[in-house]
Amino acid sequence: MAELAALLFDVDGTLADTERDGHRVAFNRAFAEAGLAWEWDVPLYGELLSITGGKERMRHYLEQYQPAATLPGNPADWIADLHRAKTRHYEALLGEGGIPLRSGVERLLREARDAGYRLAIATTTTPANVTALLENAVGPEALDWFEVIAAGDVVPAKKPAPDIYHYAMAKMALDPAQCIAFEDSHNGILASKGAGLKTIITVNDYTRDHDFDSAELVLDSFGEPQQPFEVLSGSPAVLNGAEYLDMALIKRVHSG
């Protein structure tokens, strides 16, 4: 077994609970601004999350829920413009401080960095969204913690395709045996496993019932010393009594 060298993180739902109270709200604000009588409520957005990528999600919504809609101009350009407006609203929400990192995330990132592990992002969200989240939830210095931020359209096929992970590892000149992935969804683990990566899952309200049978460890959060995680699936021998995710546990998962 190769030695663990790098931690590769998904963003939405993994580093922060961005979907329900972030992206969903931003989509609705963009729709209203464009004069569209569309409202993605919480249950509908949960269904739409089966489609990865914001522009892809809007295209799916148009096809399945608004087939009679007449779009001005070129549909691809119109969707791209509307998605840029959505990103602007999302960044404004982050600036309002309403989307913190999930429990244990900042602690783990700092611990991994201090121990010399390499960090990367592998996500379908846009680079602007990643930047806004990290700058507002931690500070501008957090951007420098990640050697690679693989995000958005840098690869043509988004999750569940493994392309974004292959891209990140190629940029770092690492192979899957040297890395471990962190995800929150079924599409996410399909991507990470498709890239040959051992994977730790932290579920959220939208993904708790997803299929994570192939994950090495499934948790409700990374946890904190005074706020233990709930283990949904994992080997007791690997856990070894751990109550929150730290580098010692991650190394046992990687080598297990």
Q: Tokens 């994570």 sit at which residue?
A: 212
Question: Per DSSP, what are the bridge partners of residue 149?
Answer: 121
10 is known as an active-site residue? yes
Q: How far apart are alpha carbons 245 and 35 in whole angstroms?
A: 45
Catalytic residue among 10, 17, 163, 184: 10
Return the closest-CA partner of residue 103 out of 229, 237, 200, 249. 229
Structure tokens at 116: 């010399």
Catalytic residue among 12, 17, 163, 246: 12
Return the closest-CA partner of residue 23 out of 78, 86, 65, 97. 86
Residue 118 neighbours by CB distance under 10 Å: 19
For residues 105 and 99, the answer to whether their CB atoms sit within 8 Å is: no
Residue 192 neighbours by CB distance under 10 Å: 30
Residue 217, φ and ψ in degrees, nearest 5: -155, 135
153 is known as an active-site residue? no
Q: How far apart are alpha carbons 124 and 138 in whole angstroms?
A: 21
Active-site positions read 10, 12
